Structure 1
Amino acid sequence: MPRILAIDYGIKRTGIAVTDELQIIASGLTTISSEATIAFLKNYFSLEKVEKVLIGEPKQMNGLASESTPIIEKFVLDFRNNFPEMKIERVDERFTSKMAFQTMIDSGLKKNQRKNKALIDEIAATILLQDYLTRKMI
C-alpha cells in the first residue's frame, strides 16, 4: 500500500512526516529548507510510492486564513505544477506547533533541545498526519 505524506510548509523550514506502508503510524521524516521542498519531494517520490499528500492549511483562531496563507498557496500551486497526478488534501494545522513543543516537553527533551525549530516542524507534520490517520479510522 502506498504511503501518505504530510507537509508542514513554512517560510524558512518545512517539516515532513510519512506513514508506514500500511498507513497506520505517522513518523517524522525530516525538516528541510522550504526552498528545497520540491526537489526533495521529486527525489522521495522516485524512491517511495505515495498515495496522497497532506498540506497544512494555516488558519487563525476564528477560522479565517492566516497571514502566511499566501506563501502556502504559492507552494500548493508549485506542488500541483510539479506533481499534477498527486492527490492533495489540505488539513487544518492550527495548534500543531504548540502541540509539537508540548510533546518535546512531555518526552523529556532538555530546554536546549526544545529550541530546535527544525525538530518542532517535523513533529508538527507528524501530529498533523497522525491526527488525519486517527480521523480516517473513525
Structure 2
Amino acid sequence: MGRILAIDYGTKRTGIAVTDELQIIASGLTTVNTKDLIRFLKEYTSQEKVDLFVIGEPKQMDNTVSQSEKYIKEFIINLEKNIPNIKIERVDERFTSKMAFQTMIDSGLKKKQRQNKALIDEISATLILQNYLYSK
C-alpha cells in the first residue's frame, strides 16, 4: 500500500502532507514554492510509493468555487500530464487555514511562530488529509 499525499495549493506556496504507508496517520511534510511543485512531486513519487493525491477544493460559504480554483485546475492538468499514474481526488478545504492557525495557538506557538505562513500551509494540508481519511 502506498501513501496518500495532500496538497494545499497556493499561488506562491503549497503545503504538503502525507500519510504513513498504512494510510492511517496524516503528517505535515513540507511547504514548497509553487513554481517548484511539479518537480518536487516527481522527485517525491520516484522515491516513495504514492497511491493518491488529495487536493484541496476551495469553496465560498454559498458552495460556489473560489477565485483560486482556476489556478488549481491548471495545476491539476499539469499534474496529470507529469504524473499520470496517480489518481487525484478533491476535498473541500473551507476553514482549513483558520483551523490551522487555531491549531498553532492551541499548541502554544508564540505569536512570531504563528506568523509563519509556510507552517500554516503545511498544517492546512494536514487538515485536508485528515478530513479525507475521516471521510473514508
TM-score bin (small chain): over 0.9
Find out whether 1:92 has 2:110 as its counterpart.
no
- Counterpart of 1:46 in structure 2: which amino acid? S
Structure 1 residues 51-70: Cα deviation after superposition (integer angstroms, max 9, x where no partner):
00001111111110101111
Identity %: 68
| 3-state DSSP of counterpart to 2:15 | strand
Q: Work out the CA distance in 2 between the residues paired with 1:81 and 1:112.
A: 39
- Counterpart of 2:89 in structure 1: which amino acid? E
Structure 1 residues 67-90: Cα deviation after superposition (integer angstroms, max 9, x where no partner):
111111110110011111110001
Task: Report how far residue 122 of structure 1 moved.
Answer: 0.1
Q: Which residue of 1 aligns with 2:82?
A: 82
Q: Work out the CA distance in 2 between the residues paired with 1:89 and 1:80.
A: 12
Q: Work out the CA distance in 2 between the residues paired with 1:66 and 1:18.
A: 25
Q: Work out the CA distance in 2 between the residues paired with 1:135 and 1:89.
A: 12
Q: Work out the CA distance in 2 between the residues paired with 1:132 and 1:2.
A: 15
- Counterpart of 2:61 in structure 1: which amino acid? M
Gapped runs of 5+ residues in structure 1? none
| 3-state DSSP of counterpart to 1:104 | helix
Q: Which TM-score applies when normalising by structure 1?
A: 0.97
Task: Report how far residue 134 of structure 1 moved.
Answer: 1.3
Give the number of equivalent residue pairs: 136
Q: Root-mean-square deviation (CA), in Å? A: 0.6
| 3-state DSSP of counterpart to 2:132 | helix
| 3-state DSSP of counterpart to 1:21 | coil
Q: Which residue of 1 aligns with 2:45?
A: 45
Moved >2 Å (runs of 4+): none
Q: Which TM-score applies when normalising by structure 2?
A: 0.98
Aligned 1:110-121 pairs, distance under 5 A:
110-121=110-121
| 3-state DSSP of counterpart to 1:24 | coil
Q: Work out the CA distance in 1 between the residues paired with 2:135 and 2:93.
A: 14
| 3-state DSSP of counterpart to 2:23 | coil
Q: Work out the CA distance in 2 between the residues paired with 1:25 and 1:36.
A: 26
Q: Work out the CA distance in 2 between the residues paired with 1:50 and 1:19.
A: 9
Q: Which residue of 2 aligns with 1:57?
A: 57
